[in-house]
Amino acid sequence: NTKPESSNLLSDMAYEAMRSAINRSDLKPGDRLSEYKLAEWLKISRTPVREALRRLENEGLVSSHPKRGLIVSSLDESSLQELFAARG
């Protein structure tokens, strides 16, 4: 069964694309993230987008806000240092 594997590959691709877009400021702090629009942009289904967003949220690059949904987090200097320290 290759479905889980292909779903993981799509999720990884979505994660990398969104992470790069955040790093390049194509997705800016405060931008609302719509699963539907991201899936359309990446030309994939919403499930791998949802998985990628969950990973980005766990890293602190995306945060959930009541009534707004998921948005790109704004990271201050200390948050960036914590993020890079956690990765190291």
For the whole model, what pTM was predicted?
0.78
For residue 24, what are the CA distances in angstroms to 5, 6, 7, 10, 74?
28, 27, 25, 21, 14
Give bridge partners of residue 70 from the DSSP assignment: 64
pLDDT tens-digit profile of 41-87? 999 999 999 999 999 999 999 999 888 899 999 865 556 556 666 65
The Cβ-side half-sphere exposure at 59, using a 13 Å CA radius, reads: 20
What is residue 58's predicted lDDT score, i.e. its pLDDT? Answer: 94
Tokens at 19, concatenated: 């992470």
DSSP string of 40-57, one letter each residue: HHHTS-HHHHHHHHHHHH
What is residue 54's predicted lDDT score, i.e. its pLDDT? Answer: 96
pLDDT band at 1 (very low <50, low <70, confident <90, very high): very low
